[in-house]
């Protein structure tokens, strides 16, 4: 198909050769014949021309009258003839040469080639100008005039700024029925079999019901089929969160570009600075200590004795194999690792731990637990299952059990940051960092009665990565449990920093990880989907990346604090010769 011709930003020119002729090659004009002003030269030749014409005509008439042969010429006749030709040539050169040239000469082919190239360049420039790039200085950024007959093509927007207008009569009827309550909003997907249309109708009905506009909440740009029964019910759009990249983060000898979805300014930049300091110091080492998701149902008996009987049964190593066979029936990937029980009177809390492959594993572990509970009913018919989750798991709540026992992936990550990097990149010192860590992350958090909160801002990094990679953002509660340690090493020149995080709950399959944008972020990290070679390898790698990114974040924020506040306050209150008692009073 022929490409449409793009218009040029230049004014339309006549089809004249545009090739420039060098000055030294320029042909002289007839007016250059005499070294006189142009108007004088012209007047001279005009006078000469008409004088000799008059003279020659007079001579011609005289010869006819005297019957003299025309070819007999006198000396004055010869001079007159020469003057005639000279003045004729001059006048022709001055006034008529352009006209004669335009009739006699055609432009040479290479001149047109040159012009064609110029036209092509204009087309290319016009093409470039249509790209959405910032205006460069070299480019003409003025808007090209629109071709008069061309239809105006509005670029398709990723989001709708206006409330969705539903056009068909059938849609209008549906909106009315949702508004008046005859059609439940939740049933739209199953009724229509078109998730996008269902969302549009629900959205319009919601706007009419509430009288509030949803303009600004995009509807287009999300695959509504992909969230059905998996990620979100009754959708009316989606919220946009910008994704920034920190890195390269060098961990275990590999570089990662870490996607962070956040609306907190400086967070990505700060983490990026930490990544730089780690990279310049040779990288971080991240070690996975444990990998097991937990679920703890609560069961009740008539007596504490019966609850204790079940506890002893479940924790007896001889029964483990039987229980694991029952548990493992539910999934190829869920493998029972252990059972720990806690008694509260007649109530028993049974904490099952299992590996879950590349899935975060909540569904998987719950299915396995249900199998075991069903199995136990035979030997313990008096067992009353209060709930499949009895909060001893513990999911999405700060709990010491996760802090001590771990949940999901337990990771420790360390790096030795060189003294000169701390000085040049982080603008602080080893000594200041060690002191700040002791007073803030350890002592300060102890004073606050922290539970797993012995860090500066682990949850910032955890949550940003979780949002970007489709993790369950509510699990940032226990996933952000972290103790940050700092110590001077190499005779005080360098800094050893570590983060220990016992409950990083991540997966690379299931939940939000399969959505297009989240999946792209996992792909960037090289951990998208299920690991083909070793099930679980992708989610474990992701956990080590999360811990390393937290290390970078801790390093950078702590340095900012040390450089900005602590050092200054040290100078003011600890190291100056000022009488502090006077200053404070
Ligand atoms: P979760 O347990 O984290 O909620 P889902 O149950 O939603 O996760 O997703 C796990 C699903 O993915 C299971 O059906 C499981 O069989 C499947 N699956 C495929 N490959 C893997 C893998 N490598 N690791 C874990 N699960 C996998």
Please give the average pLDDT of every successive group of 10 residues along the chain, which has 585 residues.
Answer: 36 37 41 59 82 86 82 84 83 62 43 36 32 32 40 40 66 97 98 97 98 98 96 98 98 98 96 98 98 98 98 98 97 97 98 98 98 98 98 97 98 98 97 98 98 98 98 98 98 98 98 98 98 97 98 98 70 55 42
- Residue 391 included in any domain: no
- Residue 493 included in any domain: yes
The number of folded domains in the chain is 3
117, 223, 264, 384: the catalytic one is: 264
Distance (angstroms) between ligand 1 centre and the Cα of 191 equals 29
63, 396, 427, 496: the catalytic one is: 396
Q: Does 264 qualify as catalytic in the annotation?
A: yes
In the prediction, which pLDDT does 144 show?
Answer: 39
- Residue 74 included in any domain: no
- Residue 61 included in any domain: no
The CA-atom distances, in angstroms, between 581 and each of 566, 568, 573, 575, 577 are 19, 18, 10, 14, 12
- Residue 45 included in any domain: no
Dihedral of the alpha carbons of 555, 506, 481, 248, in degrees to the nearest 10: 0
- Report the CATH number that the domain containing residue 375 is assigned in CATH: 3.30.70.420
User: Which atom of ligand 1 is closest in space to residue 364's alpha carbon?
Assistant: 2
Distance (angstroms) between ligand 1 centre and the Cα of 358 equals 7
Residues with CB under 6 A from ligand 1: 331-333, 356-364, 507, 509-511, 530-531, 535
User: Same structural domain for residues 285 and 310?
Assistant: no
Coil/strand/helix, residue 414: strand
Q: How many CA atoms lie within 13 A of 556 on its CB side?
A: 26
User: Same structural domain for residues 340 and 428?
Assistant: no
User: Same structural domain for residues 419 and 546?
Assistant: yes
User: Same structural domain for residues 488 and 541?
Assistant: yes
Supply the pTM of this predicted model: 0.71
User: Same structural domain for residues 271 and 202?
Assistant: no
Residue of minimum CA distance from atom 6 in ligand 1: 363
Angle at 355 between CA 350 and CA 359, to 5 degrees: 115
Distance (angstroms) between ligand 1 centre and the Cα of 435 equals 44
* H helices present in 211-303, as ranges: 224-227, 267-280
In the prediction, which pLDDT does 89 show?
Answer: 81
User: Same structural domain for residues 280 and 301?
Assistant: no
Burial of 495 (0-12, 13-18, 19+ CB in 10 A): buried
In the prediction, which pLDDT does 279 show?
Answer: 98
User: Same structural domain for residues 262 and 199?
Assistant: no
Instruction: Please tell me the distance from the alpha carbon of residue 552 to that of residue 497, in angstroms, as a whole number.
Output: 10
Ligand 1: residue of 295, 354, 359, 535 to mutate (most ligand atoms within 8 A of CB) is 359
User: Same structural domain for residues 426 and 527?
Assistant: yes
In the prediction, which pLDDT does 82 show?
Answer: 87
Q: Does 379 qualify as catalytic in the annotation?
A: no
Residues for the chain: how many in total?
585
- Residue 104 included in any domain: no
User: Same structural domain for residues 302 and 213?
Assistant: no
Q: In sequence order, what are the beta bridge partners of 287?
A: 412
Last residue of a domain, which of 370, 385, 400? 385
User: Same structural domain for residues 454 and 563?
Assistant: yes
- Residue 230 included in any domain: no
Instruction: Please tell me the distance from the alpha carbon of residue 577 to that of residue 497, in angstroms, as a whole number.
Output: 32
User: Same structural domain for residues 521 and 541?
Assistant: yes
204, 472, 478, 494: the catalytic one is: 472
User: Same structural domain for residues 283 and 416?
Assistant: yes
- Residue 48 included in any domain: no
Residue in this structure with the two tokens 């801790």, named with its chain if needed: 554
- Report the CATH number that the domain containing residue 532 is assigned in CATH: 3.90.770.10
- Residue span of the structural domain in which 333 resides: 296-385
State CA 34 to chain mean position distance.
74
């Amino acid at each position: 198909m022929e490409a449409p011709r793009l218009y040029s930003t230049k004014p339309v020119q006549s089809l004249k050769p545009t090739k420039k002729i060098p000055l030294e090659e320029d042909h002289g004009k007839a007016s250059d014949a005499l070294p006189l002003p142009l108007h004088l030269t012209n007047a001279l030749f005009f006078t000469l021309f008409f004088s000799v014409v008059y003279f020659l005509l007079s001579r011609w008439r005289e010869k006819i009258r005297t019957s003299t042969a025309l070819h007999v010429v006198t000396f004055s006749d010869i001079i007159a003839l020469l003057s005639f030709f000279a003045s004729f040539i001059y006048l022709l050169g001055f006034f008529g040469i352009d006209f004669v040239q335009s009739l006699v000469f055609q432009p040479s082919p290479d001149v047109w080639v040159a012009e064609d190239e110029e036209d092509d360049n204009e087309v290319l420039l016009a093409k470039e100008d249509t790209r959405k790039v910032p205006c460069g200085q070299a480019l003409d950024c003025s808007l090209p005039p629109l071709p008069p007959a061309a239809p105006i093509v509005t670029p398709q927007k990723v989001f709708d700024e206006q409330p969705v207008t539903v056009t068909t009569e059938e849609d209008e009827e549906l909106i009315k029925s949702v508004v008046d309550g005859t059609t439940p909003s939740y049933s739209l997907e199953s009724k229509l079999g078109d998730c996008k249309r269902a969302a549009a109708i629900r959205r319009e009905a919601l706007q009419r019901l509430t009288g509030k506009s949803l303009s600004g909440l995009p509807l287009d740009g999300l695959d509504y089929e992909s969230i059905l029964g998996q990620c979100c019910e009754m959708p009316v759009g989606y919220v946009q969160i910008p994704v920034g990249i920190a890195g390269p983060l060098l961990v275990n000898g590999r570089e990662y570009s870490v996607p962070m979805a956040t609306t907190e300014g400086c967070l990505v930049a700060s983490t990026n600075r930490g990544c730089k300091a780690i990279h310049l110091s040779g990288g971080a080492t991240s070690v996975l200590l444990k990998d097991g998701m937990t679920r703890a149902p609560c069961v009740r008996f008539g007596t504490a004795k019966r609850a204790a009987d079940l506890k002893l049964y479940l924790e007896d190593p001889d029964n483990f194999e039987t229980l694991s066979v029952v548990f493992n029936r539910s999934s190829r990937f869920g493998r029972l690792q252990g059972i720990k029980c806690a008694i509260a009177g007649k109530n028993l809390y049974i904490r099952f731990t299992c590996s879950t492959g590349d899935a975060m594993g909540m569904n998987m572990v719950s299915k396995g637990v249900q199998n075991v509970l069903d199995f136990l009913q035979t030997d313990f018919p008096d067992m009353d299952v209060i709930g499949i989750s009895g909060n001893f798991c513990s999911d999405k709540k700060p709990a010491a059990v996760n802090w001590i026992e771990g949940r999901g992936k337990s990771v420790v990550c360390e790096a030795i940051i060189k003294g000169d990097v701390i000085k040049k990149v982080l603008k602080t010192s080893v000594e200041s960092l060690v002191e700040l860590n002791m007073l803030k992350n350890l002592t300060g958090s102890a004073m606050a009665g922290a539970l797993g909160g012995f860090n500066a801002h682990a949850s910032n990094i955890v949550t940003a990565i979780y949002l970007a990679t489709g993790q369950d953002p509510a699990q940032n509660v226990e996933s952000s449990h972290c103790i940050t340690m700092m110590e001077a090493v190499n005779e005080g020149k360098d800094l050893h920093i570590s983060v220990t995080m016992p409950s990083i709950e991540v997966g690379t399959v299931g939940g939000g990880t399969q959505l297009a944008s989240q999946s792209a972020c996992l792909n960037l990290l090289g951990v998208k989907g299920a690991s083909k070679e070793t099930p679980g390898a992708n989610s474990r790698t992701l956990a080590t990346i999360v811990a390393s990114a937290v290390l970078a974040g801790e390093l950078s924020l702590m340095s900012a604090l040390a450089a900005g506040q602590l050092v200054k306050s040290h100078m003011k209150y600890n190291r100056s010769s000022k009488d502090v008692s006077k200053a404070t009073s």
